[in-house]
Amino acid sequence: MQKIIDNTPEALDAYFTQTGAKKVFLVGGKSMDKLKIGEYFSKLEERTGINVVRFSDFKPNPGYESVLAGVKLFRESGCDMIAAVGGGSAMDTAKCIKMYATMDDSTDHIKQEIVPNDMEFLAVPTTAGTGSEATRYSIIYYNGVKTTVTDDSSIPTAVLFDPDTLRSLPDYQKKATMLDALCHAVESYWSVHSTDESKAFAAQAIKLIFAAKDGYLANTDEGNSDMLKAANIAGKAINITATTAGHAMCYKLTSDFGLAHGHASALCVKVLFPYMVQNTHLCTDERGEGYFVEMLDELAEVMGCDTPMAAAEKFWALIDELGMEVPAFTEKDLEKLAGAVNTDRLKNHPISLEPWSIKMLYGRM
């Protein structure tokens, strides 16, 4: 079970001392230096005698080569644990370094079967959205191709939620990352791979996101802390189920129209939700249409609504409330967007979607 560390220097010192680590490999960008957690790590050796080796040689959407550079430095410096401070890119880089640090260098790591290790790994997320610190998934670019590396051993063993890390984020980024966490939870709830455990995580995350929203957007410590927790819980949900059509449809919106990932996925979920409610006969979940209808009723209740359509409308209203704009699509854009959706990623979705219906949904945004 992932350990949650209290957000105090004393608790962190105790944690590091208890790990028995001598050298911590710290993955984090330059922005970390402006945060209290960055100052903490700069004085860790002075307080505890534990050395810190810093690795910042990665970019957003990290490449395989950056991971290899991290693995090389990790080994050469003799580190015995990993810490990551940052958003999805820092987390994904650190997770891959952890997996590859004990693997064979004679062939590309990405082509090998993962060899699990039990190395201690602390994560400090600086955005409340991806939930990467709670999942077995890492996204890196291999030969220019977006690639998912997956193994349970990559999940951090401990997490620290520091509300200070969210304080200076731009409003748009805060809104988009919150929506990413909400989409994770909603998509996990209706996924064909949902379980009682995943639905419990998803429901908890949804309720906490709506409860923390106002405080989070107002930048209160309580709101920021609760949103970090909600994103983590939503991450635990998708770690079981993976995401569905909302994410399968969003990537071209990000790459071609410049929308943040959470913004793009929320636009997709907002049109998928009512379409699903109106087309339960298209259910592909092996548990049947009866289960699917009951699940939508449960999801509505989780969202504080009387009916599934009211829940869909509440989700839509949230996007409007946050001012998340929709690009102006041409007919050519709609064709391109629909044609770019990876149909393999639609297999988790609980109703069938055809190219024509996907195009129609983009047009409804």
- What's the angle, vertex CA 75, arms to CA 82 and CA 18, rounded to 5? 35
Q: What are phi and psi of 184, to 5 degrees?
A: -55, -45
* Per-residue model confidence as pLDDT tens digits over 209-232: 999 999 999 999 999 999 999 999
Helix H or strand E segment including 71: helix 64-76
CATH architecture of 169-363: Up-down Bundle (1.20)
**Residue 19's pLDDT band (boundaries 50, 70, 90)?**
very high
What rounded mean pLDDT belongs to the chain? 95
pLDDT of residue 343 exceeding 90: no
In the chain, residues under CATH classification 1.20.1090.10 are 169-363
Assigned token pair, 26: 């710290």
Which has the closest alpha carbon to 245: 354, 318, 145, 321?
354
To the question of domain 3-165 being in CATH 3.40.50.1970, the answer is yes
Are 282 and 356 in contact, with CB atoms under 8 Å apart?
no
In this predicted structure, what is the pLDDT of residue 69? 94
- Higher pLDDT pick, 121 / 345: 121
Render pLDDT for 128-182 as a digit per residue (tens, 0 to 9). Answer: 999 999 999 998 888 888 888 899 999 999 999 999 999 999 999 999 999 999 9
DSSP 351: B
pLDDT > 70 in the chain, percent: 100
